[in-house]
Amino acid sequence: MPPLHSNPYDAAQPDFATEAHADAQLALTEGGLSEAQAIESLTCLWTLSNKCEKAEWDRAIAEEQHALKEARQGAIDAEECQHQQSQADKEATLAKECKKHKSKFTPVPNAKVPVEPLCIPACYALKQMESGSYIELYYFTNQGISEAEEVATTPSDGTYVWKTQEDGTHSLIKASSAKRGLRSDPLPDDRLTWEQFFEATPCMIRFM
């Protein structure tokens, strides 16, 4: 059957009793049918033909919808395949870049930024602790750490530096004397104030 160009569901049944269908009536009446029988036969033939056209129409619509569904799915599959290929290309490029520039892609640890100043006691005090020898708590007080910083940033020649004394005053002495003074003249533990003791204890524990 050739493809239908109009919807058979919209077709109206003709009136075969009219003059427009006189030739069809005549062909049937000449075959022995009455006029009423001829009109009824023509009506039945049209109804059967219309049913066949409706079935063909339904089949064509179903095939068209199936074809559209397959086309849409094919487009989706092609787009997904293209996306996967693009993603694979990006990952390959990134892996190549990571291999070529390792330092550029080194992950940054999620560590907190220190908000407290870094206080490092004198090297002599740390070496004493490392060897398990006795070391005065004074080295771990704020005053002892301050003196250690002064010594660490001054040369060992005849240069003079400012040194903070126990009473808070400052005096100008040789750098070498400052280094010897820090190592040999710290306050004994029993002369530390409670404030100095509480300064030194957590600091010393931190470097154990």
Fill in the DSSP letter of residue 120.
-
CA distances from 203 to 137, 198, 200 (A): 9, 9, 5
Distance CA(200)–CA(145), nearest Å, equals 10
- Separation of CA 85 from chain center: 19
State what percent of residues in the chain have pLDDT above 70. Answer: 76
Per-position pLDDT tens, the chain of length 208: 455 678 889 888 888 888 888 888 888 888 888 888 888 888 999 999 999 999 999 999 999 999 999 999 999 999 999 999 999 999 888 888 888 877 776 776 676 665 556 677 777 777 878 888 888 888 888 888 887 777 766 655 555 555 556 566 666 555 544 543 464 477 888 888 888 888 888 888 888 7
Each residue of 63-77: pLDDT tens digit? Answer: 999 999 999 999 999
Query: What pTM, to 2 d.p., does this model score?
Result: 0.40
CA distances from 171 to 32, 146, 164 (A): 146, 15, 7
Contacts of 7 (CB under 8 A, 6+ apart): 57
Two structure tokens written together for 66: 């199936």
Q: Output b/e per residue, 48-63; b: 16+ Cβ within 10 A.
A: eeeeebeeebeeeeee
Q: What pLDDT shows up at residue 180?
A: 39
